[in-house]
Structure 1
Amino acid sequence: MTVAARATPLRAWHLAQGARMVEFADWELPLHYGSQLAEHAAVREAAGLFDVSHMRPLDVSGPQARDFLRYALANDVARLDGQDGKALYTVMVQEDGGILDDLIVTRRTAREYRLVLNAARAESDTVHLRCLARRWAGSQRAAPEIQERPDLGILACQGPMAARQLAAVLDFPELLQRKPFSTLERDQLFLSRTGYTGEDGFEIIAPGDRLLGLADALVAAGVKPAGLAARDSLRLEAGLNLYGQDMTVADSPARSNLDWTVDLRDPEREFLGRSALAAERAQGARQALRGLILKDGIARAGCAVSSREGLPLGQVTSGLFAPSLRRGIALARLTSDTPLGATVFVSLRGREHVALVVQPPFWRRGRPCHDVEERIREHDT
């Protein structure tokens, strides 16, 4: 029997806004509201609103919460010490260094942390963390409390005007003073200056019954509803990985352009996967995630990438037409000795398409990244 996709509290609202709904990670979500390109442009130029309630908050608390998360996560939550409301991007890996998920962890107090998990990994992540907590605690330590929060939903208000519009709607001017990767909590709202678009903005975690009023107020203030299609083109332009494509349990952080999320500085911190990741860092990863700019054509996940001489280099993990750059871009896992600036070939439907290798991101905060801009000029000439 087919299991029905789960619905967020805003399903009826999406339909009323004219959304085309699709299934994604077992959730029914809006693909677009009529025009992916218009929604993409709204986020780049002003502000867009995404329902990301398929992402799952998970609260970890107790006197041992900090020490447990130092063991469970590859980045070190000790970097948040003394900074209530500060957030950290990290990966969670298994013993061999393969990525189980990427996530954001926020320190709420010295003994309370909030994780936000990817939808496709939320259930398995929660089981993993609970099993890990029991194993870690043993007889000498108390296991932290790990609480799922299905009562909460998440909206993302993103774009250069997003913070100003959200602050006006909430009558909360203090939001404008928050720095990236910091949060404020007020009136059951958890407001985090984070996002998945390469633009400024906030992610708002709130009780499910608050989402409708927030969405209506933001749209009335001029924020444009946006769906999964725009979210994908925005995140890829920003060089942000998608779990299940650009990183999987078969890939380490170093193979996924995420080695910077692995903190090995404290030799006393034994976290899960440390030995494997330290060994790979010492030896050097055999593959790396790079950006590709295509002269023509649109690469898709799985497309083979080869050198000028026809030697196999790797394959595309994500690819699409980039509205901001007006050409095809992609992320590809290539041999680590493939140099930036190299000309390579992407196989699309039996034809070889020229591409240039760049270091992602392609676009951040209103303009192409410098290296990308330079490579585009090379293509055009």
Structure 2
Amino acid sequence: MTASSTLQTTPLNAAHRALGAKMVDFGGWDMPVNYGSQIAEHDAVRTDAGMFDVSHMCVVDLKGDQVRNFLRGLLANDVNKLQVPGKALYSCMLNPDGFVIDDLIVYYFTETWFRLVVNAGTAVKDVAWIEAQNAATNSGVTITARRDGNDPIALIAVQGPNARAKVWEVLPTAKAASEPMKPFNVVIVPGTAFGEAMIARTGYTGEDGFEIGVPAGQAEALWNALIGAGVKPAGLGARDTLRLEAGMNLYGQDMDETVNPLDAGLAWTIVIDGERDFIGKAALQRMGQNANFVGLILREKGGILRAHQSVVAASGALGEITSGTFSPSMQQAIALARVPLDVAIGDTVHVAIRDKKLAATVVKLPFVRNGKVLAV
């Protein structure tokens, strides 16, 4: 069985199918949702090591003498926080109305070379937007998307408490170049067994690990070598429950071009004070914050928390669930929600599920981090 001709595929598509993965249409990409047991894949990441094909996301290289100044105006977070080569930063990219075009990670290599990793479904839009801003500001930055052409880079995320040890089994020559590496750091290692490798200590699960970029033609060999080291392949299903337990936003669900990032728990990614201007700053200052972004734990039986369910505060004011699931780590229904500003941690709210209003507790995010349940 092969992927539909209407869907895009990553360099690992054949490897997924050889493992018997259940494949689904994920935003126009043919991607594995699981390889048999989503729960087993989730638990592997929390207790050992699992890996995800994230090659549908897009590496974008930005080079030029003015690249730092360009990014200071393009992104809501301030890349001047990146002063040591090999540092990484999470940020939103906003439109002039202050809403979220995309969330991304920016990596700093040299004063003339920064790298972005942007979301799959927004990549074409993102690159067009970046190119338009480059032209409008006459910044002279060279912008190269490294996914579909232009020497493509495949991405594999290896996550879990044993992820780093197992990666070093497969990439022993990279260990000396990479360690000690703190979270949100990155290194480029030439000449590995899988070609030049980008090794970033970042992830989307709430666990330790790496996101590894290699030439697309080497991706399947790296994937199979990691399986040989005991890393369990995991699909989109486990990726979603893991990121939700970790309190991490999903673009298109928890925020998008209709959402004020201050209402999506993303104020920590925005440097709004000071003289630096960036696209969307004035709009954010006008809007301010109008909702709290919190976690919910369902306290009554009778349903699962899902996106778009209404949340009723004690005052009668309404909020909305943005993402919800049944947590494998907690064995409880949990959700991310935007709620009125007067709703506080510890409050009881009610969620409309079919014809019932079920009680839920407002908790501080994350629910789970580094294998430990934090929200009770």
Which TM-score tier does this pair reach, normalised by the shorter chain? over 0.9
Corresponding letter in the other structure for 1:67: N
| Structure (1 or 2) with the greater helix fraction | 1
Given the alignment, which residue of 146, 149, 153 partners 2:143? Answer: 146
Name 2:67's counterpart in structure 1: 65
Distance 2:113 2:132 in 1: 19
Distance 2:10 2:282 in 1: 40
Given the alignment, which residue of 304, 307, 310 partners 1:304? Answer: 310
Q: CA RMSD in A?
A: 1.3
1:207 is the counterpart of 2:210: no
1:232 is the counterpart of 2:236: no
Name 2:29's counterpart in structure 1: 27
Name 1:376's counterpart in structure 2: none
Aligned residue for 2:121, secondary structure, equals helix
Distance 1:337 1:94 in 2: 28
Aligned residue for 2:36, secondary structure, equals coil
1:3 Cα offset (Å): 6.8
Listed one character per residue, the Cα deviations across residues 72-93 of structure 1 (whole Å, up to 9, x for unaligned) are 0000111112x11110000001
Listed one character per residue, the Cα deviations across residues 331-379 of structure 1 (whole Å, up to 9, x for unaligned) are 111111111111111111211111001121111111012xx13xxxxxx
Name 1:332's counterpart in structure 2: 337
Distance 1:202 1:104 in 2: 13
1:176 Cα offset (Å): 4.2
Tell which deviates more after alignment, 238-247 or 354-363. Answer: 354-363
| Gap runs ≥5 in structure 2 | 191-195
Aligned residue for 2:122, secondary structure, equals helix
Structure 1 residue runs of 4+, over 4 Å off?
Answer: none
Aligned residue for 1:254, secondary structure, equals helix
Name 1:362's counterpart in structure 2: 367
Name 1:56's counterpart in structure 2: 58
Name 1:277's counterpart in structure 2: 284
| Gap runs ≥5 in structure 1 | 374-381
Distance 1:80 1:60 in 2: 15
Instruction: Report if the CA contact (8 A) 1:238-1:364 is conserved.
Output: yes
Distance 1:68 1:211 in 2: 32
Distance 1:154 1:244 in 2: 21
Name 1:76's counterpart in structure 2: 78
Distance 1:226 1:164 in 2: 18
Residue correspondence of structure 1 range 281-292 to structure 2 within 5 A: 281=288, 285-292=289-296
1:312 Cα offset (Å): 3.7
TM-score w.r.t. length of structure 2: 0.93
Aligned residue for 1:6, secondary structure, equals coil
Corresponding letter in the other structure for 1:148: A
Corresponding letter in the other structure for 1:290: V
Instruction: Report if the CA contact (8 A) 1:341-1:358 is conserved.
Output: yes
Aligned residue for 1:168, secondary structure, equals helix
Distance 1:312 1:348 in 2: 17
Distance 1:26 1:108 in 2: 32
Listed one character per residue, the Cα deviations across residues 159-202 of structure 1 (whole Å, up to 9, x for unaligned) are 00001110121013334411001011112111100000000000
Residue correspondence of structure 1 range 82-121 to structure 2 within 5 A: 83-121=84-122
Name 1:315's counterpart in structure 2: 320
Given the alignment, which residue of 3, 7, 12 partners 2:14? Answer: 12
1:265 Cα offset (Å): 3.7
TM-score w.r.t. length of structure 1: 0.92
Listed one character per residue, the Cα deviations across residues 259-307 of structure 1 (whole Å, up to 9, x for unaligned) are 011113431x1111111223344xxx11121110012331111111113
